[in-house]
Amino acid sequence: MITVIHYNSRKLKINLAEPLDISIPLRGDASNVNAWYLDPPKIEPETIDGQVISVKEGASVNFNTITFNPHAHGTHTETIGHITKENYPINSYLKQFFFLAEVVSVAPEKQNDDYVISAKQLQFAIGNKKREALVIRTLPNMGDKRSKQYSHTNWTYLEEDAVKLLVRKDIKHLLIDLPSVDKEEDGGELLGHKAFWNLNGRRRTDATITEMVYVPNMIEDGTYFLNLQIAPFVNDASPSKPILYKVME
């Protein structure tokens, strides 16, 4: 289904029949991706008056309760409310859901005991392209990202200058395949988050960070039309389902 979309004075040709899902499904067991030192999420049938509400147990319906943390247990999109005393619910501050996006692959650089993504690397990857959203795929890109146990691994992170570069380029929506744009244990500095949302200046309340995506190798670097789907949570973050559509020439 080839469709021509008029978007910000541009004509984009995409195939709506070929969505590219870069979210990680949430599973209620230890195979689920995990970070921040939490137990796995749970998806379990409720018990009411001694009856397990599951068709397998003789009930007429399935009636599961899901217990999870959006920041720790999968693909999620967050607002500046993640790091402020004030409330900035994702359902109130993400008002647009389609964006012109660029997918870039970056091999992190070794820096002492860390692996980092630098401003120089991102400048090389993006060049002078004007995009509203940026999807960063870190290399090597192994399938175990979909079930990785990240706690205590000192994952790759973005240097503060790299994030500031994205702000100067007016990237409003940053998507990465890591649990955080920041170092796992940084003493609460959160330099990347603070820089992206310009915490101490004119806050970018319409900007979002999406973490723990997975971009399969079959998806080439390049320009895409992004549909950033969220659940309507009144919370700083929501589980999300970013979908890419390749922009055709």
In the chain, domain spans:
2-26+70-246
Residue 8's pLDDT is: 83
Domain 2-26+70-246, second-level architecture: 3-Layer(bba) Sandwich (3.50)
pLDDT along the chain (249 residues), means of 10: 85 94 97 98 97 97 98 98 98 97 98 97 96 98 97 98 98 98 98 98 98 98 97 98 93
Which pLDDT score, from 0 to 100, does residue 10 have? 84
Contact assessment for residue 2 and residue 246, using Cβ atoms and an 8 Å cutoff: no
d(CA 219, CA 197): 28
Check: CB of residue 154 under 8 Å from CB of residue 185: yes
Q: Both tokens of residue 172?
A: 């409003």
Which pLDDT score, from 0 to 100, does residue 61 have? 98
pLDDT at residue 1, rounded to an integer: 80
How confident is the model at residue 245, as a pLDDT?
97
pLDDT value, residue 60: 97
Contacts of 57 (CB under 8 A, 6+ apart): 45, 51
> Residues with Cβ < 8 Å from 222, sequence gap 6 or more?
102, 103, 246, 247
- pLDDT of amino acid 5: 85
pLDDT (0 to 100) of residue 7: 86
Instruction: Kindly report the three-state secondary structure assignment for every residue of the chain.
Output: CEEEEEECCEEEEEECCCCEECCCCCCCCCCCCECCCCCCCEEEECEECCEECCHHHCCCCCCEEEECCCCCCCCEEECHHHHCCCCCCHHHHCCCCEEEEEEEEECCEEECCEEEECHHHHHHHHCCCCCCEEEEEECCCCHHHHCCECCCCCCCEECHHHHHHHHHCCCCEEEECCCCCCCCCCCCCCHHHHHHHCCCCCCCCCCEEEECCCCCCCCCCEEEEEEEEECCCCCCEEEEEEEEEECEC
pLDDT of residue 6: 86
pLDDT recorded at residue 248: 87
Give the Cβ contact number of residue 209 at 10 Å.
22
Answer whether 225's CB lies under 8 Å from 100's CB.
Answer: yes
Q: Are 213 and 204 in contact (CB under 8 A)?
A: no
